[in-house]
Amino acid sequence: MPQYMLSVCHDQPYEDLDFNDPEIQRMVASVGALNEELQAKGAWVFGAGLRPVSTATVVRSNGGEISMTDGPFAETKEHIGGFYIIEAADLDDALEWAGKAAAACGGFPIEVRPCEGA
């Protein structure tokens, strides 16, 4: 069955989430419900929310020599805050899941891309 990556697109960097914030609590609950639905319907492959972009490291290999830089690869405000890999029958099913994810993940846009070879 085809696999798709659903990326949660943030337009601003975020810092650590405040889990006492009622809005964050609502989001955690709705994402949890979506994850359960994905698993129950056999669509779940993997998924995770990501720590703030300031925690990122970029690693490069230049002729076998490994180098590292602090910070994210792309120097933009926009970045991925989390992702799912799902299995879906076809694009329309994947888009339907993406719609649910957009609603569950605090209204952030969801980018849908098919995985190679799946």
Partner 1 sequence: MPDELDEVFRREAGRCTATLIRVLGDIDLAEDAVAEAFSIAAEQWPAKGVPPNPGGWITTTARNRAIDRLRRESTREDRHLAALRLRGDDAMDEPNPDLDELDGFVDVVADDQLRLMFLCCHPALAADAQVALTLRLLGGLDMPEIAKAFLVPEVTLAQRIVRAKRKLRDNHAPYRVPRPAELPGRLDAVLATVYLIYNEGHTASSGESLGRTDLTREAIRLGRMLTDLMPDEPEAVGLLALMLLTESRRSARSAADGSMIGLLDQDRGRWDPMMIAEGHALVRACLRRNQPGPFQVQAAIAAVHADAARAEDTDWAQIVALYDQFMVVRPTPVVALNRAVALAEVHGPGAGLAAIAALAEALDEYQPFHAARADLLARAGSPDAAAAYDRAIELSTNLRERRFLEARKAANRAGHDY
User: Rule CB under 8 A: which residues touch partner 1?
Assistant: 2, 4, 89-92, 94-95, 112, 114
How many angstroms separate the CA atoms of 14 and 46, rounded?
A: 23
Least CB distance to partner 1 at residue 112 (A): 8
Q: Which CB sits closer to partner 1, 80 or 93?
A: 93
Task: Give the list of residues 6+ apart from residue 24 with CB closer than 8 angstroms, or none.
Answer: 17, 18
Q: What token pair was written down for 78?
A: 């926009």
Least CB distance to partner 1 at residue 91 (A): 4
Least CB distance to partner 1 at residue 103 (A): 16
Look-up: residue for tokens 């209204």? 107
